[in-house]
Structure 1
Amino acid sequence: MADREAFLARIRAAQPAPEALPEVPLFETPAGDLHARFVAALNLMGGREITVQHAGEVRAFIAERFGCEARIASATPEVEGTRTLDANTPPASLEDIDVGVVRARFGVAETGSLWFSESEYVVNSLGYLVQHLVVLLDPAQLVAGLQDAYRRDDFRAARYAVLVTGPSATADIEGVLIQGAQGVRSLTVVWLSAPLGVPVVSQRDTPVSTP
């Protein structure tokens, strides 16, 4: 056995027996309407929100705000893009995209955050290389706090998961806030009910054992 394999074998043999994780209680969250709390947190982090009645209005919003010639990559069939996006799309090819469109699985009222997995993004770089991100969110898909998000089955099962809170921002240089320095320059939440078939809120009620 090579030195590397022997070393790893000794580490595996020395692993302690798995134990059940302690059950973390759902701590009390602030009172108030989840939608209002989410919007307040989103605005605080530099995001914005609009409400539409149907998906066709999203393209009209994009044209009005970002121009009719904006290059659009859409990860949701609800909004047509100008660039085809599928699992075979090279991640780096999205570097010239003006607007990315994606539907969030759910939002977190506590922080104004949006949750995505590889299923929502289709190509994960959509959330980082595009100039502007437009996120569809069902008003019914809000959880109160991060503790609620961590208990969801889809959070646990995803191969890739990320909570996005507003546009990219930094204040490292002389304390001046700069948005878009390391990622998307703007993030707009579009309140739009999800079509049938989109997963609903699901929580994990029992602790999971460590591997």
Structure 2
Amino acid sequence: MSSRDSILAAVARNQPELLPLQEVPSFASEEANLGEKFSTVAVSIGSKVFRVQSIEEAKQILLKEHSGARRVISVFPEFADVAEASPVSDTDPHTLADVDLAVLPAQLGVAENAALWVTDAQLPLRVLPFICQNLALVVPQQNIIPLMHHAYDVIGAQEYGFGTFIAGPSKTADIEQSLVLGAHGARTLSVFILV
């Protein structure tokens, strides 16, 4: 027997006992509080959360919060009077370097970690949520789900070319415990829960 075969045989003999996977809790009793749980977690990681009745209400809040924004891009028609329409897919990403605010929809939100799922169906350009200075995402309250396990059940059955979870503004910290926002992405994230 070669040394390779003896090593593999030793590894095979010394495998730990297989254990059943843990059950994922259903959290069914918390369904009514998903928006509240999402909001609490989102605020704790640096996002601002607003519960709104309409896109128009979100627009008024954003105009107040980002009154100094010079370049705004939005996919929502309600922003047509204050924002550029979303760029087409063949736009040179370098032309977006001066975007102050991007307002985009999110397909779903996860209460567990305040992550928002966006795909190329919601994004005119993949780079837009990462290159803008400030990002606003709109998610319907009924699209907030309890856990990442549930999110994977939803997104696993979909077809998309690009998808990403976004949770909170961009941040990084160093060994000296200095937190920097916006180091490699949006400096702020505003989440609008459409109720």
Query: TM bucket by the smaller chain?
Result: 0.7 to 0.9
Q: 1:180 to 1:29 in 2, by over 3 A?
A: farther
Higher strand share: 2
Q: Is the 8 A contact 2:69 2:101 kept in 1?
A: no
Amino acid at match of 2:124: V
Measure the CA separation in 2 of the matches of 1:78 and 1:143. Answer: 27
Alignment of 1:168-179 (within 5 A): 168-179=170-181
Aligned residues: 170
Amino acid at match of 1:98: D
Offset of 1:143 from its aligned partner? 1.2
Q: Is the 8 A contact 2:69 2:100 kept in 1?
A: no
Q: 1:117 to 1:130 in 2, by over 3 A?
A: same
Amino acid at match of 1:28: P
Q: 1:155 to 1:66 in 2, by over 3 A?
A: farther
SS at match of 1:189: strand
Q: 1:120 to 1:25 in 2, by over 3 A?
A: farther
Measure the CA separation in 2 of the matches of 1:50 and 1:176. Answer: 28
Measure the CA separation in 2 of the matches of 1:143 and 1:190. Answer: 15
Residues 105-147 of structure 1, C-alpha deviation per residue, up to 9 Å, x if partnerless? 0000110000000111111111100000011110110111111
Amino acid at match of 1:83: E
Partner of 2:5: none
Alignment of 1:86-165 (within 5 A): 86-153=88-155, 156-165=158-167
Max Rg structure: 2
Offset of 1:69 from its aligned partner? 4.8
Higher helix share: 2
Q: 1:29 to 1:181 in 2, by over 3 A?
A: farther
Partner of 2:16: none
- Normalised by the length of structure 2, the TM-score is 0.78
Q: Which moved more, 1:117-126 or 1:147-156?
A: 147-156
Matched, 1:49 2:49: yes
Measure the CA separation in 2 of the matches of 1:53 and 1:90. Answer: 35
Q: Is the 8 A contact 1:155 1:161 kept in 2?
A: no
Partner of 2:25: 28
Regions of 4+ moved over 6 Å = none
Q: Which moved more, 1:29-38 or 1:164-173?
A: 29-38
Offset of 1:29 from its aligned partner? 4.9
SS at match of 2:85: coil
Root-mean-square deviation (Å): 2.1
Structure 1 residue runs without a partner (length 5+) = 1-23, 194-211
Structure 2 residue runs without a partner (length 5+) = 1-20
SS at match of 2:117: strand
- Normalised by the length of structure 1, the TM-score is 0.73
Measure the CA separation in 1 of the matches of 2:89 and 2:172. Answer: 31
Q: Is the 8 A contact 1:26 1:147 kept in 2?
A: no
Identity rate, percent: 26
